[in-house]
Amino acid sequence: MPHFLTAALYKFVALPDFRQMQAPLLARCQEAEVKGTLLLAEEGINGTIAGSVDGIEAVLDYLRSDPRLADLEHKRSYSEAPPFQRMKVRLKREIVTLGVPGVSPTQMAGEYVKPHEWNRLIEDPEVVVVDCRNDYEVAIGSFAGAVNPHTRSFSELPAWVDRESAPGGLLAGKPRVAMFCTGGIRCEKSTALMRMKGFDEVYHLEGGILKYLETVPEAASSWQGECFVFDERVSVGHALVPGDYALCLACGHPVSADERANALFEHGVSCPHCHPDTSEARRAELRQRRRQQALAAAHGAGADA
């Protein structure tokens, strides 16, 4: 069994005292030797933490001791190495940034659809299926027939909705919309946005893509490709089996095995996605950084020997 448990969690719930929650929560995480990042805002909590099984359970128990977070859910994954180096509890305006005042997932989110019912919904030609994730995530996998808004950040989605709601747009005259994202948090907020903008029937995939891949057999699946995840696995496939992708350490873009075999890929320096926009001087800086990191790692290994 791998040594480190990673827990990804979020919950939209009114936390008017979120500022006062910061210091005690950080202290509890440090006491449990848990690392990662947790975001607190008036609209709720979001984040990913990692540590020993006992440490993670201690932090989750602490969070759930607050009646407002008693039903807080989390997703688990395991790793051999610690995925995070320090613990941060940050205060934010939003736990996932959309930038539209008045959007309330606790009051306005769309209707949940269970993973085993999702295929039937998205096969309906009257339903517009929208992938709420960013362009680099959509590029490595999505549901068949889903619309890619080509956003670089979640905060660009409202402008896309406005454009496509205008006459001639993809959403014009389409009251039925189904939205999905990795784990569910962006879906809740985006469906609340759609309802605020007057869409009558708005649905979202309960548990997100990850729950779908975990529970729907590959033979019955409408998913194509892999799903980008924000941890050391980089991507997963059906049954949440780790996928083929790695991260370009220079730009953070997921790169496939074929892309890593490309002449433009240099570990820690460039990949086919960022090479055209990276100067030779910048690549030289990154190569020097790699050498320094390798030397530091070698000295560390020598000290431990």
Residues marked as catalytic = 181
Helix, coil or strand: residue 11 = strand
Contact 74, 6 (CB under 8 A): no
Q: In sequence order, which residues have a C-beta less than 8 Å from that of residue 298 and are 6 or more positions away?
A: none
Count of H-run helices and E-run strands, the chain: 10, 15
What residue ranges in 206-285 does DSSP mark as E strands? 223-225, 227-228, 235-236, 246-247, 254-255
**Residue 160, amino acid:** W
Provide the b/e sequence for 151-164 (b: ≥16 CB within 10 Å).
beebebbbebbeeb
Q: Where does residue 294 rank: exposed (0-12), middle (13-18), buried (19+ CB within 10 A)?
A: exposed
